[in-house]
Amino acid sequence: MTARCVMVLGTTSGAGKSWLTTALCRHYARQGLKVAPFKAQNMSNNARVVAGGEIGSAQYFQALAARAVPDVRMNPLLLKPERDTHSQVVLLGQVDGALTAMPWRERSNRVWPHIARALDALMAENDVVVIEGAGSPAEINLAASDIVNMRVAQHADAACLLVTDIDRGGAFAHLYGTWALLPEPDRALIRGFVLNKFRGDAALLAPAPQMLQDLTGIPTVATLPMWWQHGLPEEDGVFDETPTLVAARTALPPEGARPAWGGPAPVVAVAPTLVAAHPLFQTIAVIAYPRISNLDEFQPLKKVPGVRLQWVRSPAELAGLNPGLDWLILPGSKHTSGDLAWLRVQGLDAAVAAFAGQGGAVLGICGGLQMLGEALIDPHGIDGNAPGLGLLPLVTVFEVDKTVRHTQATFGPVQGPWAGLASVTVRGYEIHHGQTRQHAGLAQAGEVAQPAMPGGLAWQSPAGNVLGLYLHGLFEDPAALQALFDPQGERPVPTLDAVFEGLADYIEQHFEPGVLAQLLIPH
């Protein structure tokens, strides 16, 4: 079996490649085809544990949309930024120290054979491989060392879609300029232009699509209306609500209604106007430090009725939510000591301590757990030494070997806001170098953290209002969500599979008839 390949390229980062790739995965899977996603190189601190190690979260979700089992071949190269000029390199699921130390441009020849073999294997096992590019394929300064865009497209003989974000302005210039900068063999692979995030009457676009086709020979095959709440987690950064979004969101159809394009209703979070009327309304703040990781695990909180999720970056933003703030979360971090230093520069260390001192509920996940302790000790130069926030009597030592695994564990006795989790078994995943244990000196003095899970997976403060755990995915586990937010089982949260179905419905409604099938026919 040799798969046909469909590739999604973008004129810029953020044009919509990831979600469109996810939608195509589900569309082709619904046709009864065996489908796999692929992205040669991803740069993201959002990663998931799969067979063989870790891959970017976007490819993990794309695999689920394709009804495939995620594995490391779907994202053979993952770059995890630790600083502005340094990234940890993960090759086929495992950290590669030699590649991490190697200059950027020198990696291409070393990694391309691995990328090509992974893609060839997926093509041999599937009917369709849906490939996602990265950034823009017309970055002419990177063309000679390209391993993620047109080199992949040529290797796979892929039918390419070029998508642009029309909401940014200059969409037709972006499309034409990208096409014009590509060599003729690469231009020949582009089968259609896609206008994404359009607001208004599509008839007003004329005559631009036809003029563009006259210049390039390539048709515009879809105009996708702006869709604020498609339900997929953000891959590249923190999603902040804007006044425009709030206004748009309150105008969306009621939960359960079918919008005009024919798919299921977007998942709608509780609008601010409904806050006072909702008896179980809770505000949860997540600190958005520069090297935040695995932020996609908070996406389910945006879909829980009665929960408002806010990102905070300063003491002023935190103070603006308090009183009234129910939980404060310190999320994962790809550079724990660096993000701790950032917290101190912002003054958020004192703000977090003050909130906890007043009895506020503080949750630390992975790197957030490490920050809550007394100290970070780094004998191998993995992350850096630093004093912690001192809210849990723990110490973290960074080890050379990285823990990457799926985990199932049961909460022991827990107190305060976490009491509903007692005896609940949850599933998630671990990705961390640090190993955390009781601080020996404080333990001798009688200050002991309470184990909340076996094996050092979770710890709770003696007062019960501070909880730290290594387990990612708590809010993706249905049992945990029900225990924390819906103990009576009255407010079911829409499933991820429903999100995939909605994405497929959406593109089937807005692509020109027959285009998606024609992409599978050799040119």
What is the residue extent of each domain of the chain?
Answer: 4-230+499-518, 268-493
Q: What is the pLDDT of residue 365?
A: 97
User: What is the C-alpha separation between 523 and 521, in angstroms, rounded?
Assistant: 6
> For the domain 4-230+499-518, what is the CATH code?
3.40.50.300
Residue 332 pairs in a beta bridge with: 293
CB atoms within 10 A of CB 431: 23
Q: Do domains 4-230+499-518 and 268-493 have the same CATH topology?
A: yes
- For residue 281, the number of C-alpha atoms closer than 13 Å in the C-beta half-sphere is 14
pTM metric for this prediction: 0.84
Q: What is the pLDDT of residues 212-239, one digit of tens each?
A: 999 999 999 999 998 877 778 766 555 5
User: What is the C-alpha separation between 470 and 358, in angstroms, rounded?
Assistant: 25
Q: What is the pLDDT of residues 133-145, one digit of tens each?
A: 999 999 999 888 9
Question: 165's torsion region: left (phi>0), alpha (psi -120 to 50) or beta?
Answer: beta
User: What is the C-alpha separation between 158 and 481, in angstroms, rounded?
Assistant: 41
Catalytic residue numbers read 366, 472
The pLDDT-based confidence of 442 (bands split at 50, 70, 90) is confident
Strands 394-410 and 425-438: antiparallel
The mean pLDDT of 353-374, rounded to a whole number, is 96
- For residue 256, the number of C-alpha atoms closer than 13 Å in the C-beta half-sphere is 3
Given a cut of 70, whether residue 265 has pLDDT beyond it is no
Q: What is the pLDDT of residues 289-343, one digit of tens each?
A: 999 999 889 988 888 888 899 999 999 999 999 888 999 999 999 999 999 999 9
Give backbone dihedrals phi and psi of 322, rounded to 5 degrees, phi first: -125, 130
CA-wise closest residue to 11 among 182, 153, 157, 200? 182
pLDDT greater at residue 522 or residue 215:
215
The pLDDT-based confidence of 443 (bands split at 50, 70, 90) is low
Class level of CATH domain 268-493:
alpha beta
The angle subtended at Cα 36 by Cα 34 and Cα 38, nearest 5°, is: 160
